[in-house]
Amino acid sequence: MFFKPSFQPTYHRVKVSGIIEEAPDVHTLQLSFETPIAYQAGQFLTLVFEDLHKEDRRSYSFSSAPSIDNVVTITIKRISNGRYSRPLTENLCVGDQLSATSATGLFLLPNRIEHFQQYFFFAAGIGITPIFSLLKELLFQHNDVSAVLIYSNSSPLQTVFENEINELQKRYKNRFIVHYLFSNATQLNNARLSKWLLPQLVERYALGKKTEHLFYVCGPFAYMRMVRYALQELGYDDAQIRKENFDTSHPIHLHKPSDQKSHQVSLKLGTETHQFDSQYPHTILQTAKKLGISLPYSCETGRCGSCMLRCTKGKVWMSYNEVLTEKDLSEGKILTCVGYPIGGDVWLEG
């Protein structure tokens, strides 16, 4: 391997027990853990590496579903300039060991499945990974709901989990519909998903009232933005649209906090408590890392939710937020990777 896993005591030691080639440049890793890991369908695992004597992290979605699959799996697509996806797909061998943090992520099925009668899943390319996990959990565990998968790829050859999805369709043919789209198709109604095609597909497959539909979207940023805007134009509320973002580029921050003074952060994580001063331009997470305080995190861009904590007193300003809903914000949830204390001291809990 051309990378070094970070084997700190607080991390999970993970052994690669199997490797499956799903499609060109896409591999599924079967994993075994020294200590069993708890996770939910739709979440991701963050692998931790040592790079030039500092930590580096990459997150990969679970393709397994915890209540169905005996083996824990993540699925990785090779990126041509990927610092870790290349060796993970090209050089990793059965028996190799990796290091990981606990599972995290907010791309989950609702606590009350019965609040919605039909679930729509929009996936593009490797964005199928968390959606495949969610689909299995939903279909296997809940008999009273139906599901629709709109799955976009460049060609049939690039379609990850095609055989498994087709088997799900056969098994649950009365309540599971799959519609494949291929950008190399000659017919426009079976090619790229667009603001023109999406309403037609929703109208074709939708059952019941609009308020009974819930949508999940995962894929490139432009794809997810298009799906969201198209659904909003159809009259769906933003609370009915859940998305998982694989974009790890740092967004451009056009605004700065009104208060850039130093304030004390009191932090409670389980049985541990910490106090430290934090000041813009350093985020709460950056300050904690410099002090050697271990906080959960992954993307560091405000897009994944791994670093989410709850602010119980004081106020935290966030420069970016792609994951927390209005309900989350009303409950005091904040992201430390883009968060700065303002207006005084703050108290945070994990």
Average pLDDT for 198-222? 96
- Please tell me the predicted confidence (pLDDT) of residue 347: 97
Q: What is the residue-wise DSSP string for 50-118?
A: EETTEEEEEEEEB-S-TTT-SSEEEEEEPPTT-TTHHHHHHT--TT-EEEE---B-S----S-GGG-SE
Contact 63, 129 (CB under 8 A): yes
Average pLDDT for 280-300? 92
pLDDT over threshold 70, residue 151: yes
Per-residue model confidence as pLDDT tens digits over 102-119: 999 999 999 999 999 999
- Please tell me the predicted confidence (pLDDT) of residue 82: 86
Alpha carbons 34 and 191: distance in angstroms, whole number: 45
Average pLDDT along the chain: 93
pLDDT over threshold 60, residue 287: yes
Contact 339, 283 (CB under 8 A): yes
- pTM value is 0.87
Q: All domains of the chain, ordered by start, with CATH?
A: 4-100 (2.40.30.10), 113-245 (3.40.50.80), 263-349 (3.10.20.30)
